[in-house]
Structure 1
Amino acid sequence: MTTRLYQIAELKGHTDRVWSVAWSPTGNVLASCGSDKTVRLWVSNSDTEWICTNVLEGTHKRTIRNVAWNPDGRQLATASFDSLIGVWEQEEEGGDYESVATLEGHENEAKSVSWAKSGTLLATCGRDKSVWIWEVGTDNDFECLSVLQEHTQDVKMVMWHPIKEILASASYDDTIKIWKEDEDDWYCSDTLEGHESTIWSIDFDKTGEYLVSGSDDKTLKFWRCYRPDNREGIITDRNEPKWKCICTMSGYHQRCIYSVSWSKVHGRIASCGGDNTVRIFEQEESTVSGSTIDTTNFSMIASVTSAHGVVDVNCVQWYPTEKHSNWLATAGDDGIVRIWQLTEE
């Protein structure tokens, strides 16, 4: 059986490079953002026909680097090079979106936004080396709970754990940090070291026990969380879980890996980057005495070269639900959003 990845739709509308794409929690809407200072919302009439239903603009004066939906799918957050975080809300189902909050605090370019599963926390990060955690109040009132400044360089991405209120951040300082709350403040519970260059992207698996990272060193690293008194004998400090690299994938991307996405439905991992390729990996399994154990090995099952012509592929995101779990969206420097389908033939 052969696994193939092929394009099913090409979404045109942005007038400059597209930096990020994000599916709404139900998958009904795809958001994209880019250097043209806009967010576009796309809805499909069929698998191959998509229309742009909304263009969100006017809040940001520079490139919109990242966009993320909150868990109920009614709000979007945007991170911009103008240092601002925008929050947009849909007035009613099927209605327009309006700008309901603008969060100030980052000293320069904001790079990433992420909502916690509860919907009550929003994390942001930026070139100022900081990670901010905001509490979502009533009437779209956002309060900054903590400013985390332990990274020594530009923070490229933040990502919440899929279940718990635990945050991961990836940085130009070649590390990933894990953040937790202790009473009224947040602290770094672990620092993941191993990459040799900037870490651009991170994503958890559906359990939150594993993490994948993509780096300028052209490798993908897979990390596993080991709890105190784990049976593997991994030493943990201060009664805190310890994250260890269990697998490094090299030789697949020829240039920087800009984005990784771990499907919460089927568990496959997608990656893309500066070599214009999209690659799909899955974890290999081994059965011992009737029980399935992790072998900590991953293999590539499909790839597409020249996915966006000759330009960088900046972002890749799996469809979030079972309905079209074999779909993924990509964003490129060509100003186009592309929808792909993974098939087994």
Structure 2
Amino acid sequence: MDNGSAVHETLDRNMSDGLDTLESIPDAVPVVLTEPPIEDQLAYNTLWPESHKLYGHGNELFSLCCDHEGKLVASSCKAQSAPIAEIWLWQVGSWKAVGCLQSHSLTVTQMEFSHDNSMLLAVSRDRQFSIFTIQRTGVDEVGYQLLARQEAHKRIIWSCSWNPFGHEFATGSRDKTVKIWAVERESSIKQLMTLPQFKSSVTALSWVGIDRQRNLGLLAVGMEDGLIELWSLTTRRSEDAAPGVAATLSIRLDPCMCHVSSVNRMSWRNHEMSEDSTSLQLASCGADHCVRVFEVIVN
């Protein structure tokens, strides 16, 4: 073999060594992450390839929510002015922007659609909540209107949640309070009650229905110190009496079961209560980078 052939053979071997073959691909091994994974890690290690990138907000996103039919997504971003604090509505499928909702002057911290998808509730760092009516006027068209905006707390409002059985909703704030509100027939907002003050800022809420006939539900309250409490709420709606709500503390979760830092978000698993179903599942995530799932036995 001459020197030229030897050089070409060496180059071919070096090039082939750099290619991924079945023999060269390393075996998959568990990876321990000490912080949330970056986009490259998710793209390389998971089966969630990006299909769309939606442009519209001026700053990094802060909150997202989807309606209960999975057809409409609302998004908000960090904001220090009213134009940036807009809420954008996106049509699922076509991913077209179908609305820009204006109400707040600072970051919208959380949003949630009512369970009949007729209203969108938003809370903000400006200490106010807003309610928008949502109407579908066509395949890719959505009508919306600001129904109410009200200053509700003395500090930042971090969280909100609708009653699954009606148009009552809860708001939680850095002022360590949770307030229950109702949308009345006259399209006005009435405060029904304030829960006893908590020991820490309220950072997460999630309301689940248990008994529709009695309008009974459980409100999970997550706090900045990582603790979680469950409150039993019974709402009253009658033509002969003003709307009202009764609240009692049902469960205060053991601190050893809770987070060691702020509870960022909570969500109840969708369920159908029956005589044979006596348990619920609640998921929570916190600033301690942990996700916890609790099973709650309903008596």
TM-score (norm 2): 0.71
Cα deviation for residue 262 of structure 1 reads 1.4
Number of the residue aligned with 2:131:
133
Structure-2 separation of matches of 1:170 and 1:226: 18
Number of the residue aligned with 1:119:
117
Can you list the C-alpha shifts for 1:179-206, whole angstroms capped at 9, x where unaligned?
1122220111111234212111111224
Number of the residue aligned with 1:63:
60
Equivalent AA in structure 1 for residue 60 of structure 2: T
Aligned residue pair count: 236
Residue 194 of structure 2, aligned match among 191, 195, 203: 191
Q: Which runs of 4+ in 1 moved over 3 A?
A: 11-15
Residue 200 of structure 1, aligned match among 186, 200, 203: 203
The 1:245/1:273 distance shift into structure 2, 3 A limit, reads same
Number of the residue aligned with 2:171:
169
Number of the residue aligned with 1:243:
247
Can you list the C-alpha shifts for 1:201-246, whole angstroms capped at 9, x where unaligned?
1112243611101101221010001467xxxxxxxx9772222222
Number of the residue aligned with 1:27:
none
Structure-1 separation of matches of 2:193 and 2:76: 25
1:244-263 correspondence runs (5 A): 244-249=248-253, 250-252=255-257, 253-263=259-269
Equivalent AA in structure 2 for residue 223 of structure 1: W
Unaligned ranges ≥5, structure 1: 1-5, 19-41, 43-47, 229-236, 286-293, 295-345
Structure (1/2) with the larger helix percentage: 2
1:315-334 correspondence runs (5 A): none
1:282-297 correspondence runs (5 A): 282-284=295-297, 294=299
Structure-1 separation of matches of 2:126 and 2:147: 18
Residue 142 of structure 1, aligned match among 130, 141, 144: 144
Equivalent AA in structure 1 for residue 194 of structure 2: T
CA contact (8 A) 2:177 2:196 kept: yes
Structure-2 separation of matches of 1:115 and 1:226: 21
Structure-1 separation of matches of 2:38 and 2:88: 21
Structure-2 separation of matches of 1:78 and 1:198: 24
Structure-2 separation of matches of 1:140 and 1:212: 32
CA contact (8 A) 1:226 1:244 kept: no
Number of the residue aligned with 1:158:
160
Number of the residue aligned with 1:110:
108
Cα deviation for residue 111 of structure 1 reads 0.8
Cα deviation for residue 52 of structure 1 reads 2.6
CA contact (8 A) 1:54 1:96 kept: no
Can you list the C-alpha shifts for 1:288-343, whole angstroms capped at 9, x where unaligned?
xxxxxx2xxxxxxxxxxxxxxxxxxxxxxxxxxxxxxxxxxxxxxxxxxxxxxxxx
Number of the residue aligned with 2:281:
268
Unaligned ranges ≥5, structure 2: 1-29, 80-84, 211-215, 272-278
**SS of 1:55's equivalent?**
coil
Percent identity between the two aligned chains? 20
Number of the residue aligned with 1:22:
none
Structure-2 separation of matches of 1:60 and 1:262: 29
Of structures 1 and 2, the larger Rg is shown by: 2
Structure-1 separation of matches of 2:116 and 2:269: 20
Structure-2 separation of matches of 1:67 and 1:150: 22
**SS of 1:251's equivalent?**
helix
Cα deviation for residue 109 of structure 1 reads 1.0
Equivalent AA in structure 1 for residue 270 of structure 2: K
Cα deviation for residue 63 of structure 1 reads 2.1
CA contact (8 A) 1:206 1:263 kept: no
TM-score (norm 1): 0.62
Cα deviation for residue 259 of structure 1 reads 1.7
Number of the residue aligned with 2:232:
224
Structure-1 separation of matches of 2:52 and 2:65: 16
